Amino acid sequence: MTADVHGYFNELKEALTEQGFFKDQDPHKLIICGDLYDRGTEALQIQAFILELLAQDRVILIRGNHEDLTMNLLKNWHRCSYLQTHHHTNGTIDTLCQLTGTSIKDIYTDAENVGRTILKNPYIQKIIPTMIDYYETTHYVFTHGWIPCTPVRIASNKMEYVPVTDWRNADKTMWDKARWINGMEAAHAGIIEPTKTIVCGHWHCSFGHSRYENDGGEFDNTPNFSPYYGKGIIALDACTPVSKKVNCIVIED
């Protein structure tokens, strides 16, 4: 399984190859914990790969906050949301241009037509509708940011998290917010699932290694972007734009 591929197909393929995904003859599926696109330049290659896996029933897709950003952009397209800075800085606009063969100039000069083209794309028609908030096995819960809980800031650099009793049945608003939570921070604040390990993405693993293990810094001082393992958590976001790697692990359950 993996997370936060963010448009880096070659790095994803390399990670899967290292873990034997393509050679393993036993039945297995790839779980991706959100954020397929929005950083790298290989959106078309990733889309073709994901569509192939979907056709073979070999992938489970968890929805990430970047998928939410895409849908929010399209929902408000008629209000010129494509002009908003965060849709450019987060890579959302660039991804949609890659997937549709259009350009930012095309959007600015003929936004209505580009919008119709985007809405017909398999990313919107097939991939995002397949995505789920979480996937659960006997010993693991797979999600993007974290399970629903309520963050409360108690200092400039410290958060507390209030648990949600029946998080599995949380409403859409709670799940939307959960996709933005730093799972490593929430886990260390006690928001874990008894008897299970939560596997997540979203937040760069170097945060956990730096904050809780004194292992490098977050982005300097030899940061460690390898998977972070803690009590009740495995975090996978390799911060691929910086590390040039995608984290991938094998879980048997």
Outline where DSSP puts E strands in the chain: 30-33, 59-62, 135-136, 140-142, 149-155, 158-163, 197-200, 228-230, 233-235
Q: What is the pLDDT of residue 156?
A: 76
Q: Which is it for strands 233-235 and 149-155: parallel, antiparallel or unpaired?
A: unpaired
Q: What is the pLDDT of residue 228?
A: 98
Q: What percent of the chain has pLDDT over 70?
A: 100
Give me the pLDDT at residue 153, please: 86
Q: What are phi and psi of 7, to 5 degrees?
A: 85, 15
| Residue 27, token pair as written in the block | 């039945």
The whole-model pTM stands at: 0.96
| Residue 167 DSSP label | G
Share of the chain above pLDDT 90, in %: 95
Q: Is 250 exposed, middle or buried (0-12, 13-18, 19+ CB in 10 A)?
A: exposed
Encode 130-169: b = buried (16+ Cβ within 10 Å), e = exposed.
Answer: ebebbbeeeebbbbbbbbbbebeeeeeeeebbeebeebee
pLDDT over 90 (residue 37):
yes
* Alpha carbon distance 91, 89 (integer Å): 5
| Position 247 pLDDT exceeds 80 | yes
Predicted pLDDT of residue 179: 98
For 157, phi then psi, to 5°, come to: -125, 25
Cα–Cα dist 92/244, whole Å: 20
Are 240 and 5 in contact by the 8 Å Cβ rule? The answer is: yes
Mean pLDDT of 9-22: 97
What pLDDT, on a 0 to 100 scale, did the predictor assign at position 13?
98
Give the C-alpha separation, 248 to 163, whole Å.
Answer: 29
For residue 127, give the nearest of 222, 52, 208, 16 by alpha carbon. 52
- Spatial contact of 205 and 155, defined as CB atoms under 8 Å apart: no
Q: For position 33, what pLDDT does the model report? A: 98
